[in-house]
Structure 1
Amino acid sequence: MRDSLTGERDKPTPSVLVFGATGTAGKGVCRALHRAGYMVTCVLRDGQSPPHAAQSLHANITQPMPQILGQFDVVISCVASRNGSREDAWAIDHAAQMNILQVAQRLQAKQFILLSAICVQNPKLPFQFAKLAFEKALMASGLTYSIIRPTAFFKSLSGQIPRLRKGKAFLVFGNGELTACKPISDDDLGNFIVDCITNRAKHNQILPIGGPGPAVTPRDQAQALFGLLGRPVKLRRVPVALLRIISGGLRLAGVLSPAAQRKADLAEIGLYYATESMLVWKGPEQGYSEEKTASTGTEHLFDHYAEIMRTGADVPRGDHSVF
């Protein structure tokens, strides 16, 4: 088929295979693919329904997937471990992703787009090392790749809204200004990821990305939420030292108890997010940089807060909520 204006043949619409399509980020990607007119197939667990009436295949990503057949130009993976614990991280963030990569290679896909996380740039936790190990494998695979490292999701920064609705204080670590991030909405992230399909400047790149506007701290979040509620700001400060004591105690108990080991993993994740910003890491001496953290999109976290407060909607907490 030829374009009526240029006389050139139209390029066929790429066919995209999406893993992790039922998470909030995955749904944002599917919406963006739908708007852009791509042919989309989602790989789902048994019993799940595809978003936006996309075609679907069913498979267990923790196992090899020989049943997945077809011709796909692009594979997008939004898969992530649910809680970041050691066992879950290496099973999902590495082993399952390797299974997905093998599918992409077997089906001779040309491009692989990975949703990773910005925190892997300063790794201290099992899930960060698992993600980095897969990123390395992807870069060595020979496929055209784009590795997306978003700063923070709206849902992860909305977990305290139910507390505030009940009249409770907003929990902060230290003075509430130890960390900062540039939150990005699911739709802005989806648009950025889908642009990686055709934007060659994003090919074979690691791409840290945040949402619009300046970086925000937990104190900024509290001020915005209490302003929407029409109440004075009420903070409850949690000492970082207390988190360190809890984490250390659970780590010692984990030597004898697998259950304590899992709790220690979660405590260390909490400590990490209480003390580390989700911005571009310039190194131990220079720390995190708001200026180096690119922004994209139009949807701001505080507009998201305002909509939740206006509608009284339930807060999408999920496994990755901070509280």
Structure 2
Amino acid sequence: MQKRVLLLGATGTAGQGAARALLAQDYDLTCVLRDSGKTNTLPEGAKHIIASIANFEGDQKRVFEDESFDVVVSCLASRTGAPKDAWAIDHAAQLNALSLARSVGAKHFVLLSAICVQKPKLAFQYAKLAFEEALISSGLTYSIVRPTAFFKSLSGQIERVRNGKGFLVFGDGTLTSCTPLSDDDLGRFLANCIADETKHNQILPIGGHGPAITPIAQAEELARLLGKPVKIKHVPVALLDVIYWVLRIGGLLSKKLAENAELAQIGRYYATESMLVWNAETGAYDRALTPSTGTETLFEHYAQLIKENHAVERGDHSVF
């Protein structure tokens, strides 16, 4: 029989990729939306239920009383990663999702997590890890997917460069590297977790296709694709430390500055930590240990964006 899948977080870019992949693999797909105005983001063939997983009580819970599903796929994630948002979404809302999975009879829970939780320093990482532990001990079959960077998060500087501004790198531009994933390659991996039993009851770090890419390599490829030199602006990591401490001290008097200090700390993490599997034996990030998936590459994505003269809107995920 055709399996029924309930998808959470379907309006995000990763969730949209998952929705397309689940439909392509002929699953009976229902997406949970907070806002009926978001139905236009769903691919043709996807059904929807209007409910808030973050505020999952009373009337919200009754929406699902007559529903049953085989699998829950959760692409829920906090927008900013700030502590309040992280514990509300990456932990509390995910616990609601786990409760929902049990109530609708689901036997399998596929979770989109993040590879950065392997070296936790930030609130959202601890929140994600706390939910991973709850899922593992839940008794449900689980597949915890920890992807590296997404194309979207590495495409925000194209517009800067087009407008003659410098490409920002931290340090010498080789402090970090990653093997980024497209939304569709990630979506297919998430969908494959349902039928592929080797992905059941596993924590699954994954990277995209191709070699690990440094920020300086991104700038060099943009120069080639645009056919013009790209100015490189080097930002000292120490400057991020200064910004963080100024905001943190200011945060003693201002809630807004305290929130900005948390965001500055997140920015520093990504400026200094690679999105690859951590090799505990060597004490370094390791491309060879980072499993590859898919076929699409970041530089192909860059070429398409430049060809279409398309700007990437990252919203709360924007760093530069």
TM normalised by structure 2 equals 0.95
The residue number in structure 1 matching 2:180 is 183
Higher helix share: 2
Q: Identity of paired residues, percent? A: 59
Whole-Å separation in 2 of the counterparts to 1:34 and 1:107: 20
* Equivalent runs, 1:1-323 vs 2, <5 Å: 12-47=1-36, 48-49=38-39, 51-53=42-44, 54-64=46-56, 65-66=60-61, 67-69=63-65, 70-283=67-280, 286-323=283-320
Which secondary structure does the structure 2 equivalent of 1:136 belong to? Answer: helix
Which secondary structure does the structure 2 equivalent of 1:183 belong to? Answer: coil
Deviating beyond 4 angstroms after TM superposition, the runs of 4 or more aligned structure 1 residues are none
Whole-Å separation in 2 of the counterparts to 1:211 and 1:38: 24
Whole-Å separation in 2 of the counterparts to 1:46 and 1:232: 44
Q: Report if aligned partners of 2:78, 2:86 keep a CA contact under 8 Å in 1.
A: yes
Which letter maps to 1:235? I
Whole-Å separation in 2 of the counterparts to 1:199 and 1:108: 20
Which secondary structure does the structure 1 equivalent of 2:128 belong to? Answer: helix
In structure 1, stretches of 5+ residues that fail to align are 1-11
Q: Report if aligned partners of 2:161, 2:230 keep a CA contact under 8 Å in 1.
A: no
Whole-Å separation in 2 of the counterparts to 1:26 and 1:254: 34
In structure 2, stretches of 5+ residues that fail to align are none
Whole-Å separation in 1 of the counterparts to 2:215 and 2:234: 11
Cα RMSD between the aligned structures? 1.2
Whole-Å separation in 2 of the counterparts to 1:236 and 1:117: 28
Which letter maps to 1:280? V
Q: Report if aligned partners of 2:54, 2:92 keep a CA contact under 8 Å in 1.
A: yes
Whole-Å separation in 1 of the counterparts to 2:242 and 2:165: 25
Deviation, 1:291, is 0.7
Which letter maps to 1:51? L
How many residues align? The count is 312
Deviation, 1:128, is 0.5
Cα deviation per residue 1:183-220 (whole Å; 9 max; x = unaligned)?
00000000111000010100000101011011000001
